[in-house]
Structure 1
Amino acid sequence: MFNAPRRMGGGGSISSSAFLTSPGMSSSTYNDPLAFTVPAPGVSGGFGDLDPWSAVPSPARSGTPRESIEDPREREIQPAPSSSGSRDGLNGLINDPPAIYVSLFDQLDVSSTGSVSLASVHRLLATSRLPALAVEKIINLTSRDKSSLARQEFFCALALVALAQSSSPDDEITIERLSASIPNLPLPDLKPASPSHDHHALSPPSNGYDVPHQSVTASTSTGFDAWDSTPHTNANGFSDSHQPGGGHVSSGYSANGSAFRSDGVLDESQLGYWKRLEHVEVALITEKEGWFLQKYRVESDKRSAGAVSRRYSDFVWLLDCLVKRYPFRLLPSLPPKRIGPDASFLEARRKALKRFINFLVNHPVMKDDGALNVFLTESSFEAWRKRTKVSTDEESSSKKLNSAQEMAIPSDLDEKLGILKDNLPSILGSYQKLVLLSEKSLARLINHSADSSRLALSVNSVSESLNKSCFKCSTYHNGEISVTGDSCSLCQGVSKGLLDVGESWTRIAEETEKRVAIITNHIESLKYTRDLYLAFRDLFLRHEKLSKDNVDALRKKVEGRNKKIEGLKNAAKPGWEVEVDKLVAASDQDSSTINTLLSRRVFIRACMWHELSVVFHSRQAAQTTLGWREFTNYQIEGVQRLQSVWEGLKERLEGMPIE
């Protein structure tokens, strides 16, 4: 079964131990931001110490030993202990490197600063044909969060490349292994540009977003084409186009909740889901209920009830219902609670609640759920909950599959699920880093916008003060400086030019604010995709806990009764018929339960296959592709607007006097 323990990690895995750790210090494992955040089985959306909605860690539950996740790159760089016969280990490599190491360093150190930029190192290492994750780990080991690599760090990076290229894809690469392997270490296989070329030419030929022809044209096992590029995207990376009339769009799924028709073929009406998305807005209501209870204004663009107000506990109730009804479907996680939250946390939670509810309303099965519809439309929700008993029966109790739909489930489903399960930790860690780095970029952009405004103010102040400091334009009278009526042409022209400069910096600040909005939307797009992977991680955990049944135990009981029945018949003691009738009735009841549980097993497999092949497969492709397309287009537009600002300023400054 795919829930059995599996070997984690893929090809090219490299240990992220400390670069040149001090003697006697063992290497730490790679600092996976999600390594200590596995939720408890059966609990949807536990994140441990990690707060996935913000770069600021949550103060709750701090039970993780900090020593075990210490970032090794923050340690002091010291030579590793030498190994016997290894030319004094890394010291020997650094002090007497191969000629190709020196040549590559000199080629990239065009400014003779004694270091090479991280971008140049990345371009060079990209030609090694190592996996991207391996290159990233090598850079993380050697750069220590710096923007450049010194000579010894660069040499160590090349040695790590050689070690990775000469090792098995499953081998862990550590500084200790590197030191021990130096005597037999081959030269790294790189394809740098000729020294006569510009060092930027080290980048290998790129095909952009092109994919092999067969990857585009070949249909998957579900017949889904993930490369449909027709829709135009909105800020969330999805299409704004909806069905005419704006009514609630039915999922089109069969009554059994499957994307497959009665003949077992995928329902083609489910393709292109992003063209008919429902959008739900979640806004924070400023007025609190009581002293601290916060409410949210929730409104869908496809349900006619208008806006309704909901508390955080209402979202919790909804998720609890859906987990019980659809335990083997992809379900999003809720953001955490916090006592005394500040404004930034409330905003982060609002965005997370918006992602949560939009995930649900656009799931092909749960979008038509009655509890979800009431949550989005009932104005007196608390009163409705008090007077209404909501059924939380599992969907397998009311939905059945026919033989064709059962045959549509692949026999190697466990293997397909296992592939995703093996790679989830790595891709979740990568997405968490993408989010954190994007939030850092956003913070810098916000500061840049503020600094641009301050620059504009300062330049304007200089323009106004220019006449006061000119001996031709000002006079000193009664201890005060007064500006004469006529300014000299030089001061007048320079002052006008400075006003143009100030105006341009103001426009730069405005354009930067627009870029802040772009980055903010892009971060949400990344989080939408990250939430999808988190949902599948939680699905695996729920499956492991909730898919178990007692079929084997019931079969043993039935077999035992059958033997007892035979013994009673053979003995033929007085009253044996009554005892046999009781045993037969109990066996019939257990046999019926066994059949129900066996049907449930098949339905669970159908759910897992549907979530993997239809929901997950289409969304990870569409959200990733459309999100990055939108981000790229907005970035190009922003750069063009910035260019027009500077070009316009350049033209105006041509008339600014010099003397």
Structure 2
Amino acid sequence: MFDDQPWGSSSSLNNGWNKDEPLSTLENVWGGSSSTSPPLMSASLNVSNNNTHHSILDMEHSIMQDSRPILNILGNDDNDNNGLYNNTSTSYQNSDNKQSTETTNNGSDSKNNDQESIDIPDIADWAENIRKDYHPLGRDNVVIEQISEREGMLFKHTNYRLTYASITGSQETTIVVRRYSDFVWLQEILIRRYPFRMIPELPPKKIGSQNNDEVFLIKRKKGLSGFINLILKHPILKTDDIVHTFLTLANDITTWRKNTSIPTIEEFQDKVISQSFIHMWKKEFAIQWNEADASIEKMVDIWSKIGALVERQEKRLRQIQNETHSFATLLDELIDYTPKLYNNEQNKGSILDINNHISIVKQNLLENSKIVEEGAENFAINVLPKFQVFIDTLYSLRKLFERYRIMAGNNIAQLHKHIESNKIKMDQEKGKPDTSSAEYDKLHLAIKRDRKEIYLQTNRAWLIRECVLQEFSLFQETQYLISEAFKNWVRIRSNTSGLDLNLWEKLVDNLADMPSRP
């Protein structure tokens, strides 16, 4: 959960994030005794405070309440620039009692200088720059075909032929053969590397006789197509080397996997959060995430039902088309048998006239059947995929939030307690006449290790926050999928209904002089 409550208990900061409050000393920042102690991102499930109650994705403690640069948290005897940021206007001096002194200018001039040295992007420009490379409405670059012949000695499996048109703009096309388990492997690799990205979901894997069911196989093929094409539309995932290998390696990828060492290092490895993002951050972003996560289950439910209704409309059109065609066939038979029951001479040829008009009705039904069939095909090609890709993106965002709750936690609070405990022990050691320098150095080293770990976890927490905001910004682009889906739905329904109505109106006129009782 995301919440912008500060790390610590200072009531002066409980109602917001005071970006202008400076970090006073190194010990206050990293020693845990100050209300501006380093922030903590937690993956807890429930957070309550005086102002808000967020059910999901709250930030239990805000990350970096202060906007000033974090310097070397390992102690001033380490001049290796291990801090998140460097600031030449600030220095810390370390001594045996770990007292640190800040030598920056006091007052608002120092704060203003810090602010002026950082290029803080506008959130709208930042989001637009993120979204410009995400095209969920773009064309699919991979076409998947099911290979009819199944492989396997004991357990048969289905293979799929993937035709990949390169996203680099070249005319190069590659064709590879993959099986369902290969897609599962690709998804697992991507989740390990990009746990806080919108990784698409895979269609379910069924076992036994269900794998032979034609309807199931068609749905699974469509699901696999949606999975790989959404990956190629994502600005980060599409550049991954494993994705490229998956789509271009002509050999059996299962064998390649067994003989290749594939790194699954998280994307944040060796990255440092930019201070410009820290300054850009607003607690309102976390509130928006909370609202999105609280609403996404209901949104998935609503859209799933809408999609089911649209799918039923497509099936109904096909049923109407079949019934209309059967109707026309029966009229043909009717025309053959009516003269046998009605004497032409006795009825003065009226039965022949009636049959001629029935032929007009039959022709109308055949034309109507063709219109409805085309409408059903348009539904399948231009409507259903639009509704499906939107639900797929909803699933991706929902899974991102779920992974956050599982994977984004840290133990910064425990590390601070450990540091405080060791500092107390160090003070006690200094008061003893028989103090062992080895024991003192051991405690000092433990504190440095904990401070370094706090730095690493704090940096990762900020990178996670940035990553989730990037993904949430990308997700905003999917609103146009809603527009596109309904525009296509209305257009096809209108065209089909309009052509159908014209046929029936024309038929009414043609039957006006059909023989009737004088």
Same fold, TM-score > 0.5, yes or no: yes
Residues 460 and 499, structure 1, Cα contact 8 Å, conserved in 2: yes
Mapping of residues 436-515 of structure 1, within 5 Å: 436-472=308-344, 489-515=349-375
1-structure distance, mates of 2:343, 2:349: 13
Residues 193 and 267, structure 2, Cα contact 8 Å, conserved in 1: yes
1:283 partner SS: strand
Q: Is residue 630 from structure 1 mapped to residue 502 from structure 2 by the alignment?
A: no
2-structure distance, mates of 1:275, 1:356: 14
Normalized against structure 1, the TM-score is what?
A: 0.55
Partner of 2:195: 327
Q: Which has the higher contact order (CA 8 A, sep 6+)?
A: 2
The one-letter code of the counterpart of 1:555 is H
The one-letter code of the counterpart of 2:266 is E
The one-letter code of the counterpart of 2:443 is L
Q: Is residue 400 from structure 1 mapped to residue 275 from structure 2 by the alignment?
A: no
2-structure distance, mates of 1:418, 1:593: 28
The one-letter code of the counterpart of 1:223 is A
TM-fit CA distance, 1:269: 7.1
2:443 aligned residue (583, 607, 621): 583
The one-letter code of the counterpart of 2:438 is V
1-structure distance, mates of 2:351, 2:270: 85
Partner of 1:539: 400
2-structure distance, mates of 1:300, 1:655: 59
Partner of 1:150: none
TM-fit CA distance, 1:654: 5.1
Residues 142 and 225, structure 2, Cα contact 8 Å, conserved in 1: yes
Partner of 1:645: 503
2-structure distance, mates of 1:488, 1:272: 73
1-structure distance, mates of 2:345, 2:249: 72
The one-letter code of the counterpart of 1:587 is I
Cα distance change of structure 1 residues 496 and 307 upon mapping to structure 2, 3 Å threshold: farther
Partner of 2:467: 607
2:174 partner SS: coil
2-structure distance, mates of 1:459, 1:490: 17
Cα distance change of structure 1 residues 293 and 452 upon mapping to structure 2, 3 Å threshold: same
Cα distance change of structure 1 residues 275 and 448 upon mapping to structure 2, 3 Å threshold: closer
TM-fit CA distance, 1:471: 2.1
Residues 281 and 300, structure 1, Cα contact 8 Å, conserved in 2: yes
Cα distance change of structure 1 residues 412 and 517 upon mapping to structure 2, 3 Å threshold: same
2:410 aligned residue (534, 549, 563): 549
The one-letter code of the counterpart of 1:519 is F
Residues 135 and 234, structure 2, Cα contact 8 Å, conserved in 1: no
Cα distance change of structure 1 residues 565 and 6 upon mapping to structure 2, 3 Å threshold: closer
Residues 327 and 539, structure 1, Cα contact 8 Å, conserved in 2: yes
TM-fit CA distance, 1:595: 0.7
Q: What CA deviation, in whole Å up to 9, does each residue of 1:453-505 have, x standing for no partner? A: 1101001111222333332379xxxxxxxxxxxx9754443333222221221
2-structure distance, mates of 1:534, 1:402: 30
1:280 aligned residue (137, 142, 148): 142
Identity, in percent, stands at 24
Residues 308 and 377, structure 1, Cα contact 8 Å, conserved in 2: yes
| Structure 2 unaligned blocks of 5 or more | 3-43, 49-121
1:298 partner SS: strand
2-structure distance, mates of 1:524, 1:556: 53
| Structure 1 unaligned blocks of 5 or more | 8-220, 225-259, 475-486
Q: What CA deviation, in whole Å up to 9, does each residue of 1:599-642 have, x standing for no partner? A: 00001111111122x211111x1110111111111222222222
2:389 aligned residue (505, 522, 528): 528
Q: Is residue 595 from structure 1 mapped to residue 463 from structure 2 by the alignment?
A: no
Partner of 1:358: 229
TM-fit CA distance, 1:540: 1.7
Q: Could you tell which deviates more after superposition, 327-336 or 407-416?
A: 407-416
Residues 278 and 302, structure 1, Cα contact 8 Å, conserved in 2: no
Residues 364 and 507, structure 2, Cα contact 8 Å, conserved in 1: yes
Residues 321 and 372, structure 2, Cα contact 8 Å, conserved in 1: yes
The CA RMSD over aligned residues, in Å, is: 2.8
1:617 aligned residue (449, 452, 476): 476
Cα distance change of structure 1 residues 334 and 292 upon mapping to structure 2, 3 Å threshold: same
Residues 409 and 609, structure 1, Cα contact 8 Å, conserved in 2: no
Cα distance change of structure 1 residues 507 and 222 upon mapping to structure 2, 3 Å threshold: farther
Residues 45 and 405, structure 2, Cα contact 8 Å, conserved in 1: no
TM-fit CA distance, 1:648: 4.2
Residues 300 and 391, structure 2, Cα contact 8 Å, conserved in 1: yes
1-structure distance, mates of 2:241, 2:348: 78
TM-fit CA distance, 1:383: 2.6
2:283 partner SS: coil
Cα distance change of structure 1 residues 5 and 558 upon mapping to structure 2, 3 Å threshold: closer
Residues 137 and 481, structure 2, Cα contact 8 Å, conserved in 1: no
Count of matched residue positions in the alignment of Structure 1 and Structure 2: 392
1-structure distance, mates of 2:128, 2:389: 25
Residues 409 and 605, structure 1, Cα contact 8 Å, conserved in 2: no
The one-letter code of the counterpart of 2:421 is G
Partner of 1:309: 177
Partner of 1:57: none
1:373 partner SS: helix
The one-letter code of the counterpart of 1:295 is N
Q: Is residue 564 from structure 1 mapped to residue 430 from structure 2 by the alignment?
A: no
TM-fit CA distance, 1:278: 4.5
Residues 165 and 173, structure 2, Cα contact 8 Å, conserved in 1: no
TM-fit CA distance, 1:318: 1.0
Residues 467 and 473, structure 1, Cα contact 8 Å, conserved in 2: no
Residues 518 and 631, structure 1, Cα contact 8 Å, conserved in 2: no
Residues 490 and 658, structure 1, Cα contact 8 Å, conserved in 2: no
Q: Is residue 295 from structure 1 mapped to residue 159 from structure 2 by the alignment?
A: yes
2:151 partner SS: coil
1-structure distance, mates of 2:199, 2:136: 18
Partner of 1:110: none
Cα distance change of structure 1 residues 337 and 268 upon mapping to structure 2, 3 Å threshold: closer
TM-fit CA distance, 1:522: 2.5
Residues 280 and 357, structure 1, Cα contact 8 Å, conserved in 2: yes
TM-fit CA distance, 1:534: 2.1
2:124 partner SS: coil
Partner of 1:517: 377
Mapping of residues 14-25 of structure 1, within 5 Å: none
Q: What CA deviation, in whole Å up to 9, does each residue of 1:171-224 have, x standing for no partner? A: xxxxxxxxxxxxxxxxxxxxxxxxxxxxxxxxxxxxxxxxxxxxxxxxxx8538
Cα distance change of structure 1 residues 593 and 305 upon mapping to structure 2, 3 Å threshold: farther
Mapping of residues 404-415 of structure 1, within 5 Å: 404-415=276-287
